Amino acid sequence: MPGDDIDDLIRLSWFTAIAKDIVSETTVRGVLDRVMERIGECFAPLNWSLLLLDRRTEELVFRIAVGKAGERLAGRRIPATEGVAGWVLANAQALIVEDAASDPRFSARADGLTGFRTESIIAVPLRTDERAFGVIELINKLDGSRFSALELRTLSTIADFAAIAIQRAVYLGQLRREAMTDPLTGLLNRRGLERALERERRRVARYGGELAFILADIDGFKQINDLRGHAAGDEVLKRVAATLRAASRSCDAAARFGGDEFLVLLPGTGPEAAEAARERFAAALEKAAVTCAGGHFTVSLGVHAGEAADAEGILHRSDIDLYRRKEDRATPSFGETVLEAMDEEDVQDAAR
């Protein structure tokens, strides 16, 4: 009938608009926020949540929770097999629960945390290739009525759009990280550090504050490669990178510039604090060198505190301090002494 055709066209146009809106996002957080915004507009539930599976712990995490006491749920974790959400995840199937209190799959854990009383539920999986990785769950309608089969199909369609958009956002995020990351050490590469520097330049220009840098240079790295082998050299690079990362604050940015040079950006750090950080990194590296699979190594550390012009300028200023410290050494480094004393049999053992 003509009226039915018009309704179908309106519904198709509506879904197309939602799909474009969701898929236009390029980050996972952007996709999730847009999905939940659309759900609020379409269904007007009292509470709605989006849970994602943490496969490491086999738990569902409330990534977004909207509605009454939603802030109490955000970030909370439940076992991946628990409740209606757990059933939907395990079976990768959508579900309507008309009377939560009488359904054996229902768990009152969330109600206990929020003081909310769940009456009816509509839940759909986020899935790829029939494997679910999350759940969208709507609780109670504003008008007190029960959710309908049409609403279930509608929410399932939105969830399908969301799953495609999340996959795309994850893929784009991986590409961005790979473009900014050194493949051997997992630290930022030169491009990634330049971006971090630009971000800090803008922050300092807007809010003021201090900025410092530490340059790390592995002593005698060419000799390590020549005498112990490139596999040993790679192990030393990875150990230095892991140590710098572990000794850094969450706001710091560590990068490898290629070869044997590393740089750590220290936001909000003046000269005195930078020197204290240098000593902290030096102690951590000295300890890490003892158990490195690539053999013992030493690292020289230089410090620069001041304006961030560009990567090359920072390297130049930090280099000045680094080589001054190297020249101040009265005796050869322990690593260099060991390398000189090793005979061919020791070299082969170290390479193995």
Domain boundary among 144, 179, 214: 179
Whether the pLDDT of residue 253 is over 70: the answer is yes
Residue 121: inside a domain: yes
Who wins on pLDDT, 226 or 346? Answer: 226
Residue 185: inside a domain: no
Q: How many domains would you assign to the chain?
A: 2
Q: Are residues 58 and 158 in the same domain?
A: yes
Residue 275: which pLDDT band, with cuts at 50, 70 and 90?
very high
So what's the pLDDT on residue 320? 59
Span 192-227, pLDDT tens digits: 888 888 888 888 888 888 888 898 999 999 999 999
So what's the pLDDT on residue 319? 57
Q: Are residues 203 and 147 in the same domain?
A: no
Domain boundary among 179, 203, 230: 179
Q: Are residues 203 and 230 in the same domain?
A: yes
So what's the pLDDT on residue 201? 83
HEC per residue, the chain: CHHHHHHHHHHHHHHHHHHHHHHCCCCHHHHHHHHHHHHHHHHCEEEEEEEEEECCCCEEEEEEEEECCHHHHCCCEEECCCHHHHHHHHHCCCEEECCHHHCCCCCCHHHHHHCCCCCCEEEEEEEECCEEEEEEEEEEECCCCCCCHHHHHHHHHHHHHHHHHHHHHHHHHHHHHHHHECCCCCCECHHHHHHHHHHHHHHHHHHCCCEEEEEEEECCHHHHHHHHCHHHHHHHHHHHHHHHHHHCCCCCEEEECCCCEEEEEEECCCHHHHHHHHHHHHHHHHHHHHCCCCCCCCEEEEEEECCCCCHHHHHHHHHHHHHHHHHCCCCCCHHHHHHHHCCHHHHHHHHC
Q: Mean pLDDT in the chain?
A: 81
So what's the pLDDT on residue 27? 82
So what's the pLDDT on residue 130? 65
Q: Are residues 223 and 133 in the same domain?
A: no
Residue 78: inside a domain: yes
Span 135-146, pLDDT tens digits: 999 999 888 888
Q: Are residues 337 and 212 in the same domain?
A: yes
Q: Are residues 167 and 203 in the same domain?
A: no
Whether the pLDDT of residue 1 is over 80: the answer is no
Residue 184: inside a domain: no
Q: Are residues 33 and 167 in the same domain?
A: yes
Q: For residue 110, what is the domain's CATH number? A: 3.30.450.40
Residue 228: inside a domain: yes
Residue 350: which pLDDT band, with cuts at 50, 70 and 90?
very low
pTM of structure: 0.58
Q: For residue 311, what is the domain's CATH number? A: 3.30.70.270
Q: Are residues 210 and 309 in the same domain?
A: yes
Q: Are residues 195 and 73 in the same domain?
A: no
Domain boundary among 135, 158, 179: 179
Range of the domain at 139: 2-179
